Amino acid sequence: MTHRTPTPGQRPRVAIIVQNLPVPFDRRVWLECRSLVDRGYDVTVVCPQGEGTGPSQVVDGVRILAYPAYAPGGSALGYLVEYAWSFLSTARLLRTARRDGPFDALQACNPPDIFWPIARWLRRRDGTRFVFDHHDLCPELYLSRFEGTRGAQYKGLLLLERETFRAADRVTSTNESYAAIASSRGGKPPEHVSVVRTGPDPDRLRRHEPVPDLRRGRRHLVAYLGVMGPQDGVDLALAAADVVVNRMGRDDVAFTFMGSGDSYDELVRRRDELGLADAVHLPGRVPDDFVRDVLSTADVGLCPDPLNPLNDVSTMNKTMEYMAFGLPVVAFDLRETRVSAAGAAHYVRPNDVDEYARALTSLLDDPARRSEMGRQGRERVERHLAWEHQQEGYVRVFDELVGRTADTAPLADAGA
């Protein structure tokens, strides 16, 4: 099938598939959507429904088609059922969206690595080019989450990943470690792999006036923001809070852990067993305004991701969001965390809870060091990591695939 090339003045159509988060809640994908729309692309997203969203909506020029989320549980069988539901729902909605005309490019974001058959079908039918937005390493995620052996399930995930790479015309990886895997394990030529980091928006994510009540009568506030799954280390952060409060006797530190996930209920139960209900607040998934207030009030941001096959080579969004708010970070010493945070983090021997607690209290007792680390982090976001430094490379991938040049690119508001 000949690849589609938009005619001059025509808005190229792009479909984006996301399975693990709704849009616009998925901040990386939302920044990508907005960047494409701003450059004159017609963008349709297919994703699960979020809270308060319906099956179809248009937000800031992005068409969002959403199916009811279905998550029957965290077992291997539960994931299989969930992914089958997502695949069939996505295929149905893409067929609906295609009635308005063929897509020039399709982007699929992982996890999971299951959408390559749709990409191959659209290529055969319409000449649609395929971009794999490489968010995660699913084989390593399996090993890290389930501590499994490299048996049939692991080999199956490697197969799905390999087929996704084979189907992709281009790969956009979130960091250099992922890009290296795309070239080595995925067999992609280096020129077909682009590093597009998930940079925060420094205009939106910046420190505001603190809200003293969030400290709950204590001198210091320590924050966690992110997913709460078995591989995310929030249990280690809770264990460190236990050391700080119960063993060190520090009654001047309040903790707020924001987020949700498969481990949330167990974390609440364990917190109460440890007698930390007054010190550790677990509000679940919270609105953006609450996140802004907490991160504007906090003294330190926690990155408790333990060393495992996934985390060592992954870029953690929360690290850069803390940095955008000028917060110093306490993190286990992982390869890509060092790349992101540089001097904005205090690095601790991986998975050592006692050392993590000592590092945290040391920072809390050193306001001058906290201030300097926070300054370095904010500066690094503004100069290197912010999305404005990533979006040119991201849009260029689509321009090259659909054959757009400065002469053929339509105006951003054409046809809107």
Tens of pLDDT, residues 108-137: 999 999 999 999 999 999 999 999 999 999
pLDDT attached to residue 416: 32
DSSP 244: I
Strands 105-109 and 13-17 come out as: parallel
Find out whether 228 and 208 touch, Cβ atoms under 8 Å.
no
Mean per-residue pLDDT, 153-158: 92
Q: Rounded to the nearest 5 degrees, what angle is found at the Cα of 393, between the Cα atoms of 392 and 396?
A: 85
- Is the C-alpha dihedral spanning 118, 311, 221, 370 positive or negative? negative
Run of H or E including 42 = strand 42-48
Residue in the block written with tokens 């809640």: 25
Residue in the block written with tokens 């992914």: 83
Report the C-alpha gap between 404 and 354 in whole angstroms. Answer: 55
In three-state secondary structure terms, 82 is helix
Mean per-residue pLDDT, 314-322: 94
pLDDT attached to residue 79: 77
Q: How confident is the model at residue 301 (pLDDT cuts 50, 70, 90)?
A: very high
pLDDT attached to residue 414: 37
Q: What is the mean pLDDT of the chain?
A: 92
**Under CATH, to which class is 212-385 assigned?**
alpha beta
Residues linked to residue 58 through DSSP beta bridges, in sequence order: 63
Strands 170-173 and 105-109 come out as: unpaired
Find out whether 119 and 108 touch, Cβ atoms under 8 Å.
yes
Mean per-residue pLDDT, 125-151: 88
Find out whether 81 and 89 touch, Cβ atoms under 8 Å.
no
Report the C-alpha gap between 255 and 388 in whole angstroms. Answer: 32
User: Burial, 228: exposed, middle or buried (Cβ in 10 Å; 0-12, 13-18, 19+)?
Assistant: buried
Q: What is the pLDDT of residues 8-38, one digit of tens each?
A: 567 999 999 999 889 998 889 999 999 999 9
Quick one: how far is CA 132 from the chain centroid? 15
Q: What is the pLDDT of residues 324-361, one digit of tens each?
A: 999 999 999 999 999 999 999 999 999 999 999 999 99
Mean per-residue pLDDT, 290-308: 97
Of 405, 333, 345, nearest to 376 by C-alpha is 345
- The phi-psi region of residue 326 (left if phi > 0; otherwise alpha if psi is between -120 and 50; otherwise beta) is left
Of 98, 92, 20, 26, nearest to 59 by C-alpha is 26
pTM listed for this prediction: 0.85
Report the C-alpha gap between 120 and 115 in whole angstroms. Answer: 9
48 pLDDT more than 90: yes
Residue ranges matching CATH 3.40.50.2000 in the chain: 13-198+390-402, 212-385
Quick one: how far is CA 359 from the chain centroid? 26
Read off φ and ψ for residue 415, nearest 5 degrees.
Answer: 75, 5
- List CB contacts of 383: < 8 A, sequence separation 6 or more: none
Q: Specify the higher pLDDT residue, 212 or 76.
A: 212
Residue in the block written with tokens 């906290």: 370
Report the C-alpha gap between 29 and 35 in whole angstroms. Answer: 10
**Under CATH, to which class is 13-198+390-402 assigned?**
alpha beta
